[in-house]
Amino acid sequence: MTDERDLEIDDLINNLDKDYYTAHPTTTDSGQKSRDLNSLVRLWIAERTCPDILPYAHDLLDTVVERIREQVEFIEVNTVSGDASGSTKLNLLLVETELERVKFLVRGYLRARIHKIDRYYMHVLTNSDVQARLSQSELRYTKRRANQLRRYYDLRFLSSLPPSLQRLDDTAGGLQMVDVPSLDEVVFIRVLHDVPGEIDLGNDDKVQLRKGNIYVLSYKVVRRYIADGDVQLV
């Protein structure tokens, strides 16, 4: 049986904005392709290890997905012809292998994001800053997910409760019903550039982030440096 989440990931891939890609054309330079692939690996790792939802990588994902489309078209055209030479068949095999590797990374990246969106969907819908980190496809998915869950909860139990108790984002009485990411969760980071000064860790503890070193620190402490590109999640 096909996983519903796989279908959602296919939907996200197929609905990436083509207009956005048109304004950001890809390059056929093999060196650039290799750099893009390395960037995709780092994005995948960062999204899997970060407790919060990171900004969606529009430029890179649109470029990579367009290359996937080109590779699929290349494979289909040369497979249908049926008269490929030995060198062409070898080339097709290499393209298919590379294609599967890239698709695995793209799916892994989107799957990590969807996992967090599923868990924090109410937080996403009530926070414009978090919504700005999503792609349009992800935001549509989040709203559809929220509507489906709302209808399910209404059917099961919410409709039988008093109206004052039917809100899913209620904070009355100090009770927080919206699940939010824990920014206190520790993460592994690699320092890409020296960070000036000492970082306050609380309780009078401080640390200096030196280029090339790896640290285990609270995400909220290094969040700004991740956004600035001074450190990366590993």
98-113: pLDDT as tens digits: 889 999 999 999 999 9
In this prediction, residue 202 has a pLDDT band, given cuts at 50, 70 and 90, of confident
What percent of the chain stands above pLDDT 70?
A: 75
Q: Which of the two residues, 175 and 68, has the higher pLDDT score?
A: 68
Mean pLDDT over 1-6 rounds to: 54
Q: Which of the two residues, 214 and 98, has the higher pLDDT score?
A: 214
136-166: pLDDT as tens digits: 999 999 999 888 887 777 766 766 776 666 5
In this prediction, residue 84 has a pLDDT band, given cuts at 50, 70 and 90, of low
All domains of the chain in start order, with CATH:
4-149 (1.20.58.1030), 182-234 (3.40.5.60)
Instruction: Classify residue 53 by its DSSP letter.
Output: P
Scan for tokens 């109206």, then name that residue. Answer: 163
CA distances from 222 to 14, 28, 49, 203, 219 (A): 34, 36, 13, 16, 5
In this prediction, residue 184 has a pLDDT band, given cuts at 50, 70 and 90, of very high
